[in-house]
Amino acid sequence: MNEFRKQSALATGFNYEQQLSSFLPAPFSFNIDKLSEKELRVAELVLRGYTYTDIAEALNIQPNTVKTHQKRIYSKLHINSKRELFALVETRGL
């Protein structure tokens, strides 16, 4: 992961919920409230195309922790895969 991307992901004072909510259409944003701050960070980085390894490095967590957050995101949004996450975003008008 290049240093600029890492610093962007780790920027202090960055409001991930606001950023992700503005990135996603309003109907999807309703479900965003169910996600923790860390889950929001993971979801944003997944949607931006980061790998599990890059996300783990950027958030200073283990790749398996990223996968755990991903599973919780899927559960809370009632989806089963990364493909469904992208499809959900796409079908909501993004």
CATH of the domain at 85: 1.10.10.10
Residue 42 lies in a domain: yes
pLDDT, one tens digit per residue, over 16-66 is 555 555 555 554 554 667 889 899 899 989 999 999 999 999 999 999 999
Separation between Cα atoms, residue 23 and residue 44, nearest integer Å: 9
Per the CB < 8 A criterion, the answer to whether 42 and 69 are in contact is yes
Owning domain of residue 61: 24-91
Residue 5 lies in a domain: no
- Tally of structural domains, the chain: 1
3-state SS record for the chain: CCHHHHHHHHCCCCCHHHHHHHHCCHHHHHHHCCCCHHHHHHHHHHHCCCCHHHHHHHHCCCHHHHHHHHHHHHHHHCCCCHHHHHHHHHHCCC
Average pLDDT over residues 67-74: 94
- Look up the pTM and report it: 0.65
